[in-house]
Chains A and B, each alone.
Chain A
Amino acid sequence: MRLQRLIQILFFALFLALILLASYQAPEFLESDALLRLDPLLSLGSMAAARAFIPKAAVAGLVLIVALFLGRIFCGYICPLGACIDFSDSILSKKRENSFEKTRAFRHYKYLILAGLAGSAVFGISWIAFFSPLSLSVRFFGLVIHPVFLFLEGSVLEVLRPLFAAAGLDHIALASVQAPRFNTNFFTASFFLAILALGLIAPRFWCRNLCPAGALIALFSPRPLFRRRVSDACTGCGRCVRNCPTGAISKDFKGVAQMECITCLKCENICPEKAVSFRIARGVRARAPIDITRRKVIKAGAAGMATAAITLTGLRHIHGEEEPRPLKPSNLIRPPGALPETDFQARCVRCALCAKACPTNTLQPLWFEAGVSGLLSPAVTPRLGGCEQACNLCGRVCPTGAIRPLSFNEKLFAKIGTARIIKSRCIAWEQARKCLICDEICPYNAISSRFLEDHPVTVPFVDEKRCNGCGYCENKCLVTGEAAIVVEATGELRLSKGSYRREARRLGLVFNAKQAGEDHAFDGSGTLPPGFEPHR
């Protein structure tokens, strides 16, 4: 196996392992977002859109520095999307004219897309989610492949469970496989597969023509230190030209478009005459005659700015300003530690690693609930699961700090909303039926059950100073369909800096109510707590 393929496979395995390990079981030191941050488009693009230096995303600078010397090796060795495309190309692609001269028609689009993204970033709008190869890959494997695998595993287990039980293999017989469910997963799958399908037109069509991350790296590798050289032994068989994954080799077999070359060394490897070598080169003029002009770049940048301007004037865009009042759905709950909405949307790259990591499956990518610019951004969906009290994974795995990494102690105070009882739906309020599930489940003791005069059962009340917005009440509410208690964004804390704990204290919020003596919900006579009967 060629060295490049081996390294590519190893990086792909690392990529899969990091996604898989983005979970509750992961050790504290593990940075499952490490590969994401290597994507220069994702890292630098978020910084541009958010107008902030993101220290931990600065590692992407390394990729660009390396590109100065070794060219686009990120694309050939590290990028998981590149690996997927190589794999699908091996099935899809047919032999066709592949010289650089014949395949350059669309090459400049990737630079134009990059310019467009830069243009939209001027207004703080980020479309990186649809172009960053790492965001696309993590989203696809985290939201589509992982759940599908678990579903299949669960299906097999379901059939074989009695067999394992009979064989005394309790380990397997009692295993619980619960596949998470995700919003937008069909779209995510289609988008990713469409990119792979571009291989029908040409191998690595995406990388050659469209990928703005590749374009960004290419800008740093017009004259890398390490270059392809063809010796006089070349017989002109054309094998290298036909097999170059990015079609970077000239029809004269000697020249190479350096900015298109991913240094995969395939040409060196397959040359029957061993005429091709990669070595430190001086003097060899690198040619990159791509059909790009300053005018085109300016137009693309302007188009990007226009998309941002249209988005910002859309009715559903959440500005985060007082006036005009944002049309925000009352149940749009962001993860704990999410930055103020405008910053959050600018920084969030929609990789969905937070949603993958979330142990309760409550984090879901949105459609248009938060405007066009909020597409695929994560939101808490309490009906599906509560926000676990002693968990801070979403902030820990976020590559750009759109969700702040909070310690457990800080996270406890990052209030995400407030529960509200819809009395007309509540069976205790409306039908006078005994039900205390919300009170029972509330991890913050924010719900109390009280007797009312002329009402035979206790009914729930929410203490908004204690409610953290975790949504376990909404999750466990027995009412069919929409819950009788719902979390709304009212009272959410969105701090771009500073301590949540201090802010919560300042507001008089009480989330660590452990051992606090409760005002007990005794009945009308004031003698009996819930569930106890009079002595007889």
Chain B
Amino acid sequence: MEKTDMDRRQFLIKSARCAALGTCIGAIPAITGLTSPAASATPAGEKVSDLVVARGNAREAVRAAIEALGGMGRFVKPGAKVVVKPNMSFANPPDWATTTHPDVVAEIASLCVNAGAASVLVLDNPLRNIEMCLERSGIKHACSAYEGTEAFGVKDKSAFREVEIKGARALTTTMIMRQVLEADLLIAAPVAKSHSATGVSLSMKGMMGLIYNRRTMHMDMDLDTAIVDLCTVLRPGLTIIDATRILSDGGPGGPGKVITMDRIIASQDFVAADAMAVEMGTWYGKKFKGSQVKHIRLAHERGLGSMDTSSLKVKEVQV
């Protein structure tokens, strides 16, 4: 008996030491100042409402749009860790328009790498089987061409970290992917599509793909208010909306009516980009103002950006 007790004690002591070590290791990213929120990555901190609409072939349009915004070097500093958030939540081929076109993701990755990014992580928490989403959407393959670029579907709880949302109206706390919290720049790269609960799913709605517990946003609170709460902590430094084709109805999962638009919308202001995408597209056979989408209106009212597209300096580029 005595011997058993000794063993147990030793075991406990050893366990405690291991736990302590583990905690220290876990704390490394926090201590080393990697906690800078993505929001602070907005270049120069200036309030720019500049917005570009580029028309033409997907890759060239992305390149032209970023060029018109001052080039990727404005956003990506050498050695920067970049996270790209496309929509790759469904295991559908690109022509369903339920996921971001792989060419758009590939061009963004290419521009980031050329601007000197240390890594480009393409992240989403897909609704369907991770591998199937990555492959069927074509995004995994698209990323494979660029050094330091890789697409991941992330679902495991341990890959997320609890974040408090100050000033939240509904979503006071949520769990966000660690790599997003530690990134120097977050780029939203959604496909423009309809959404049966929120009207449209664009960059703001897309931020829900970076968190762990989405269910509560649907179940326990006003979804649009919660989306805006989330967007106060997940503010992309750059938004590139894939409107090469839009899912006009039947979203977010499709199948639905796909309209070819051949357009890329890029802006530092994600509210403006979303509002512009709403106004350019045709949804359920009708035209809408950005202000008619509740989460866009709420974000505008809370000062996250501007939905007033008529007052924006919009640059149109044809490639």
Interface residues of A (CB under 8 A from B): 24-25, 154, 157-159, 161-163, 165-166, 168, 170-171, 173-178, 359-360, 388-391, 434-437, 439-445, 449, 476, 478, 512-518, 520-522, 527, 529-536
Contact = CB atoms under 8 A, between A and B. Distances in A.
Nearest to A458: B196
B132 A24 contact: yes
Interface stretch (B101-109, B228-236, B246-254, B310-318): B246-254
Q: Give the secondary structure class of B's interface.
A: mixed
Interface stretch (B7-15, B47-55, B148-156): B148-156
Across the A-B interface, give the 8 residue pairs with the lowest CB-CB distance, nearest first: A531-B199, A514-B255, A529-B284, A162-B26, A158-B158, A174-B152, A166-B28, A436-B196
B167 interface: no
Q: Give the secondary structure class of A's interface.
A: loop
Interface residues of B, number: 65
A162 B179 contact: no
A434 B249 CA distance: 19
Interface in B149-188: 150, 152-159, 178-179, 182
Interface string B263-301: 000000000000000000001111011011110010000
B199 A532 contact: yes
Interface of B: 22, 25-29, 32, 90-92, 96, 119, 121, 123, 127-132, 136, 150, 152-159, 178-179, 182, 194-200, 215, 218-219, 223, 249-258, 283-286, 288-289, 291-294, 297
A439 B26 CA distance: 41
Contacts of A178: 130, 155-156
B121 A170 contact: yes
A533 B250 contact: no
13 contacts: A165-B179, A165-B182, A170-B179, A388-B129, A436-B196, A440-B197, A442-B253, A445-B256, A449-B196, A478-B218, A520-B249, A531-B198, A532-B199
A157 B197 contact: no
Given A514-B96, A517-B257, A440 B252 contact: yes
A533 B297 contact: yes
Contacts of A521: 196
A530 B199 CA distance: 6
A441 B297 contact: no
A173 B159 CA distance: 7
Contacts of A162: 25-29, 178
B91 A388 contact: yes
A478 B179 CA distance: 28
A101 to B, nearest CB: 48
Given A174-B152, A390-B91, A478-B218, A531 B195 contact: yes
A176 B250 contact: no
A176 B130 contact: yes
Contacts of A534: 292
Contacts of A176: 130, 152-156, 159
A529 B255 contact: no
B314 to A, nearest CB: 21
A441 B256 contact: no
Given A359-B129, A518-B284, 10 more contacts: A24-B132, A162-B25, A165-B29, A170-B119, A175-B156, A443-B255, A445-B254, A515-B256, A517-B257, A533-B297
Contacts of B130: 176, 178
Contacts of B121: 170, 174
A158 B123 CA distance: 18
A158 B158 CA distance: 5
A163 B223 CA distance: 35
A530 B28 CA distance: 46
A449 to B, nearest CB: 6
Contacts of B153: 176
A484 to B, nearest CB: 12
A196 to B, nearest CB: 29
B256 A161 contact: no
B245 to A, nearest CB: 12
Contacts of A513: 255
A389 to B, nearest CB: 7
A358 to B, nearest CB: 10
A520 B253 contact: no
Contacts of A444: 255
Given A171-B150, A520-B285, A532-B292, A390 B179 contact: no
